[in-house]
Structure 1
Amino acid sequence: MRNIQGVIFDWAGTMVDFGCFAPVQVFIDIFTEAGVVPTMEEARAPMGMLKIDHIRAMLQGERLGAKWQEVHGRSFTEEDVKQLYAEFESALLASLANYTTPIQGVVATIEVLRKNGLKIGSTTGYTDNMMDIVVPHAKEKGYSPDFMVTADATNGYGRPYPYMIYRNMEKLSIASCAQAVKVGDTISDIKEGLHAGVWTVGVVVGSSEMGLTEEEYYALSDEKKREVKELVTNRFLEAGAHYVIETINELPQLIDTINEVMEQGETPYARL
């Protein structure tokens, strides 16, 4: 078979939690408590990574690293990373259930994909403990993939490593990387898909990369919406995404397009 067999989705910012706000405020809070106040951009930049890797990446940033040195009189250590992560995990678990509502269009799109015979997989920057909260709450609200895996199952190798995608392919019996599509809302998602050699798609509206609440987005003027969407689209394309869609509603038609280019002999590897 030459056509797409399955779609592997990210969770927060792609399928649930418009704007991916569950972790962002917690990152800001724990760093602020440590005397190092990050900007929203610094808190969001590593989004999509395993959360302990996200914290490490923030501390490795030039400004935050220098600020940590100034406040604490030394460079950060791995013990600092572990302590910050422990604080992050505790705070996130306490609030995570409130950020499990499917983004508009998700439930209907999944129904269409399944009617078309596609398998639905998922990867995430969350851990098993976190997903133990997210999965059942999202299911109650109408979204449940066929398979979910975290980096706990891949020896801690989360994004941008490709191994969670490969676990999905194994579980869903997808024989070729060219028969899988990865959909996500962060640069880390794009890198994960490209490293796995699958078709890689960025979704704009509701994304962490866009960084707006649903209310903030829909309050924008049409001109401002176009500007924001163009900015995020360009970021995804510059990161190497094969395709970018505004909303998840466009995905079934995009998959038809991918099937057509595959019939002409194109593969996802050719665009790396």
Structure 2
Amino acid sequence: MTQNLHPAAVSAAARSSSTANLAPLQAVIFDWAGTLVDFGSLAPTQIFVEAFATFGITITLAQARGPMGLSKWDHIHQLLQDPSIARQWQAQFGSAPEDKDVDAIYARFMPMQIAKVGEFSAPIAGAVELLQWLRAQGLKVGSCSGYPREVLNQLLPQALAAGIAPDHVVAGDELAAGGRPGPFMALANVLALGITDVRACVKVDDTVPGIVEGRNAGMWTVGLSLSGNEVGYSLAEYAKARAAEVDARVARAEAKLKAAGAHYVVRSVADLPAVLAQIATDMRQGKTPA
């Protein structure tokens, strides 16, 4: 099918919304993989499969995607709770998986992810133009990720070179309070950016834990279906997919993200200008994220 995710899409939306009144919104806080970069959220998914394989454990891409949005240690821990994966571990090592086993897989995962993340640093179409538009509207741009800081340190310079440069970045392993689905990374952005009201923030994410994070932080939430983990196409797969198949996958993703509490769900960040204008209108009418 024809690729619709093109910078021109957000440019047109931005032009049509150039005089939009976004007050009283103050900030938009983005996830990274599947949201700003890495269409389909492919980098972490494939590495989980490869890391488990080094221990003789077979997991599918669908299983690897299941806990996406959590910090990577928590993600691995959650995968080991899957009955089929736990049975494999029991058969392979003679005991049920424990925290020390999560540590071992995490130690194997990290260098593999660091080595590969740069290959998946391309901005999602429209993301660069969207960040420029947000700043032109006077909004601040925050971000957070399930990626550990070591991985982000590899990703950020390449993303910056491509035009993706949020005002603040929080990694999944650097807050003592923990990561998603808790509100802590989103709230760390609030503090760093000097936001005066969490209800004036919008959290944008392609995963269930990321949406729950935003809701727990008291923010508006926008889920992304097509570009992210829930649909999981690579750009090549998307270009070849039949429209009916795409629509079916998107519908399932939208339902899942809405069930998690997303106030709005759109296909990608290219669709955000109109949604942000609607949220601002809602706020001026006295509506709140709650």
Q: TM-score, normalised by structure 1?
A: 0.95
| 2:236 is aligned with 1:215 | yes
| 2:225 is aligned with 1:204 | yes
| Distance in 2 separating the partners of 1:4 and 1:72 | 53
Identical-residue share of aligned pairs (%): 37
Residue among 265, 268, 275 paired with 1:247: 268
- Deviation for aligned residue 1:77: 1.5
Amino acid at match of 1:133: Q
Q: Which residue of 1 aligns with 2:68?
A: 47
Amino acid at match of 2:286: G
Contact 2:72 2:172 survives alignment (8 Å): no
| Distance in 1 separating the partners of 2:226 and 2:125 | 10
- Deviation for aligned residue 1:255: 0.8
Contact 2:35 2:268 survives alignment (8 Å): no
Contact 1:206 1:214 survives alignment (8 Å): no
Listed as ranges, the matches of 1:64-75 within 5 Å are: 64-75=85-96
Amino acid at match of 2:282: V
Q: For structure 1, which runs of at least 5 residues remain unmatched after alignment?
A: none
| 2:92 is aligned with 1:89 | no
- Deviations along 1:13-32, one digit per CA (max 9) or x if unpaired, are 10001111111111111212
Extract structure 1 runs of 4+ deviating beyond 4 A. Answer: none
- Deviations along 1:20-63, one digit per CA (max 9) or x if unpaired, are 11111111112122122112111110111110110000001122
Listed as ranges, the matches of 1:126-137 within 5 Å are: 126-137=147-158
Residue among 81, 85, 89 paired with 1:60: 81
| 2:198 is aligned with 1:181 | no
- Deviation for aligned residue 1:151: 3.2
| Distance in 1 separating the partners of 2:214 and 2:158 | 26
- Deviation for aligned residue 1:156: 6.0
Q: TM-score, normalised by structure 2?
A: 0.90
Amino acid at match of 1:242: H
Amino acid at match of 1:252: P
Listed as ranges, the matches of 1:1-272 within 5 Å are: 3-155=24-176, 157-269=178-290
Amino acid at match of 1:211: G
Amino acid at match of 2:187: Y
Amino acid at match of 1:233: E
- Deviation for aligned residue 1:191: 1.2
Q: Secondary structure at the match of 2:25?
A: coil
- Deviations along 1:174-199, one digit per CA (max 9) or x if unpaired, are 11111000001111111111111100
Contact 1:13 1:185 survives alignment (8 Å): yes
- Deviation for aligned residue 1:2: 6.3
